[in-house]
């Protein structure tokens, strides 16, 4: 999945057709589509006014057009659902309608995260906290989900799920029409009353430690440690985890926790490559825009090209080098959900296989890594999908030769990677 943060619906539709579909992406996480407060900041999207599909990204008919065009090329839409609260500063939302009785109205001065009652029922940064325990409120929320499902939406991120009691989340999720994919945003933080483990019986859950452990080890020059990530304790099990290198909040408000385009050239790219090659969770790539100020909203293109990635203001991580081809790698290697044939060279170089279905080598040092490795792959000449596209037996870039015993000579540039898989065999 790729999070096309703040992209317009029309641009997403085009991106599905021209890039995401052909590369085999399964889904796009879109910014909250409901009506929101006006303003130039990105975070206005997290202050709902109603559940009408009318937002900075486009209107209802543009939204429907996107869902249908993405679906036509096998890309699903995952919607970011803001259901814990409504906008700050008012208690009447006539378009839903919600009135004063639908809110907790507890403006605790700063939530004490060691107290579950405050985490669940106080206003989060002043946003009016909904009485998600009430049947009426639940009904309105479920109607919003079902409207989207009827349009063809296949998945949901539940925003701020940590601030909704698990029983309320379960009641809502269990009464949805269809069988949508659901994941819950529950930020892991030590010492807090509410943890991701409190929600895993309901749906998939975000694993923020993934982002943080990657940022730490890539910046610290210790990526070899990451080979054991999925076995570390205190992590959501792979089968239930939403894994990610970066998310929109931390890139802006906690850059110490997450990699971004602001890190040294190649480091963030390598981390995304690691995530896509590594058997842990449902991987979500972040795709963002350049920003100086943490509140800065998305670029406004004067003339609408329909191709955000060509106009320079958008980072478009999902289009970087071999990133898109690693989606295919993840699919081809999925049936061997383990790592094999591990080679390291000091703390900052890591290569591993996927039981003969694929092999990747990541060099987080700045100097080249030239070596001979056991890949575990059948012999043959493979397209290096980090540097070329494989198409019908042809490779537009360099190839890697695996001998009859599984060995291959590899040359990995500084802050770069190579990758081969069973369907890149020439």
List of residues contacting ligand LM2 (CB under 6 A): 43, 46-47, 82, 88, 124-127, 159-160, 185, 249, 253
CB of 200 to ligand LM2, least distance (A): 17
Residue 22: how many other CB atoms lie within 10 Å: 14
| From 61-69, 161-169, 223-231, 290-298, span contacting Ca ion (CB under 5 A) | 161-169
Nearer to ligand LM2, 161 or 270 (CB): 161
d(CA 140, CA 144): 6
* Cβ 322 vs Cβ 23: under 8 Å: no
Query: What tokens were used for 93?
Result: 């939302």
From the list 23, 138, 140, 163, which residue makes contact with Ca ion (rule: CB under 5 A)? 163
What does 128 interact with, of Ca ion, ligand LM2, none (CB < 5 to 8 A by kind)? none
Residues 68-107 that bind Ca ion (CB under 5 A): 84
Is 185 a catalytic site residue?
yes
C-alpha R_g of the chain: 22
From the list 129, 198, 204, 384, which residue makes contact with Ca ion (rule: CB under 5 A)? 129
- Beta bridge partners, 323, equal none
Residue 425 is given by DSSP the state: B
Closest CA to 25 of 151, 154, 179, 145: 154
Query: What tokens were used for 196?
Result: 């991701």
Catalytic residue among 159, 198, 211, 250: 159
- Beta bridge partners, 349, equal 363
Nearer to ligand LM2, 262 or 304 (CB): 262
Nearer to Ca ion, 6 or 129 (CB): 129
Q: 116 phi and psi, to 5 degrees?
A: -55, -40
| From 61-69, 157-165, 183-191, 299-307, span contacting Ca ion (CB under 5 A) | 157-165
* Cβ 164 vs Cβ 186: under 8 Å: no
What does 43 interact with, of ligand LM2, Ca ion, none (CB < 5 to 8 A by kind)? ligand LM2
What does 129 interact with, of Ca ion, ligand LM2, none (CB < 5 to 8 A by kind)? Ca ion
What does 127 interact with, of Ca ion, ligand LM2, none (CB < 5 to 8 A by kind)? ligand LM2
CB of 290 to ligand LM2, least distance (A): 18
What does 185 interact with, of ligand LM2, Ca ion, none (CB < 5 to 8 A by kind)? ligand LM2
d(CA 34, CA 53): 5
The count of residues in the chain is 426
Nearer to ligand LM2, 32 or 324 (CB): 32
Vertex 323: Cα angle to 322 and 327 (nearest 5): 110
Nearer to ligand LM2, 130 or 283 (CB): 130
Nearer to ligand LM2, 184 or 361 (CB): 184
CB of 195 to Ca ion, least distance (A): 16
What does 160 interact with, of Ca ion, ligand LM2, none (CB < 5 to 8 A by kind)? ligand LM2
What does 192 interact with, of Ca ion, ligand LM2, none (CB < 5 to 8 A by kind)? none
Is 133 a catalytic site residue?
no
Nearer to Ca ion, 195 or 260 (CB): 195
CB of 267 to Ca ion, least distance (A): 37
Residues 6+ apart with CB under 8 A from 7: 15, 30, 31, 57, 287, 298, 308
Residues 6+ apart with CB under 8 A from 300: none
CB of 287 to ligand LM2, least distance (A): 16
CB of 44 to ligand LM2, least distance (A): 6
Nearer to ligand LM2, 117 or 403 (CB): 117
Size of the site for Ca ion (CB under 5 A): 3
**Which position has the token pair 């509410």?**
194
Residue 187: how many other CB atoms lie within 10 Å: 18
Catalytic residue among 185, 198, 263, 416: 185
Residue 255: how many other CB atoms lie within 10 Å: 15
What does 46 interact with, of Ca ion, ligand LM2, none (CB < 5 to 8 A by kind)? ligand LM2
Task: Tell me the torsion sign for CA atoms 289, 292, 294, 296.
Answer: negative
> Binding to Ca ion by residue 162, rule CB under 5 A?
no
- Beta bridge partners, 419, equal 360
Is the backbone peptide bond immediately before 97 cis, with ω within 30 degrees of 0?
A: yes
Closest CA to 327 of 379, 268, 280, 285: 285
Active-site residues, by number, are 159, 185
**Contact residues for Ca ion (CB under 5 A)?**
84, 129, 163
């Amino acid at each position: 999945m790729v999070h096309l943060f703040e992209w317009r619906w029309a641009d997403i539709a085009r991106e599905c057709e021209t890039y995401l579909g052909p590369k085999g992406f399964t889904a796009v996480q879109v910014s909250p589509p409901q009506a929101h407060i006006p303003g130039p900041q990105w975070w206005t999207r997290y202050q709902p006014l109603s559940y009408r599909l009318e937002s900075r990204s486009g209107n209802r008919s543009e939204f429907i057009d996107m869902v249908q065009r993405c679906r036509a090329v096998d890309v699903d839409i995952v919607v970011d659902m803001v259901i814990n609260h409504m906008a700050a500063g008012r208690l009447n939302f006539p378009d839903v309608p919600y009135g004063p009785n639908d809110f907790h109205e507890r403006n605790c001065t700063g939530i004490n995260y060691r107290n579950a009652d405050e985490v669940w029922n106080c206003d989060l940064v002043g946003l009016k906290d909904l009485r998600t325990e009430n049947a009426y409120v639940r009904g309105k929320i479920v109607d919003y989900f079902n409207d989207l499902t009827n349009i063809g939406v296949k998945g949901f991120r539940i925003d701020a799920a940590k601030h909704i009691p698990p029983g309320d989340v379960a009641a809502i999720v269990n009464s949805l029409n269809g069988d949508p994919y659901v994941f819950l945003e529950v930020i892991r933080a030590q010492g807090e009353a509410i943890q991701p483990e409190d929600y895993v019986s309901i749906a998939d859950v975000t694993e923020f430690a993934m982002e943080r452990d990657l940022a730490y080890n890539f910046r610290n020059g210790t990526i070899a440690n990451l080979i054991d990530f999925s076995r570390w304790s205190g992590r959501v099990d792979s089968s239930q985890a939403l894994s990610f290198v970066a998310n929109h909040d931390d890139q802006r408000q906690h850059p110490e926790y997450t990699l971004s385009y602001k890190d040294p050239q190649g480091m963030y790219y390598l981390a995304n490559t690691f995530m896509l090659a590594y058997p842990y969770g449902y991987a979500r790539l972040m795709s963002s825009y350049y920003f100086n100020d943490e509140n800065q909203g998305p670029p406004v293109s004067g003339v609408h090209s329909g191709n955000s990635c060509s106009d320079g203001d958008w980072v478009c991580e999902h289009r970087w080098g071999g990133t898109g081809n690693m989606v295919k790698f993840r699919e081809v290697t999925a049936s061997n959900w383990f790592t094999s044939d591990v080679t390291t060279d000091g703390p900052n170089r890591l290569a591993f296989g996927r039981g003969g279905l694929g092999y990747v080598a990541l060099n987080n040092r700045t100097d080249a890594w030239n070596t001979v490795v056991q890949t575990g792959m059948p012999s043959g000449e493979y397209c290096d999908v980090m540097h070329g596209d494989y198409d019908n037996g042809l490779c537009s870039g360099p190839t890697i030769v695996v001998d009859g015993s599984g060995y291959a000579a590899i040359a990995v540039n500084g802050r770069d990677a190579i990758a081969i898989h069973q369907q890149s065999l020439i």
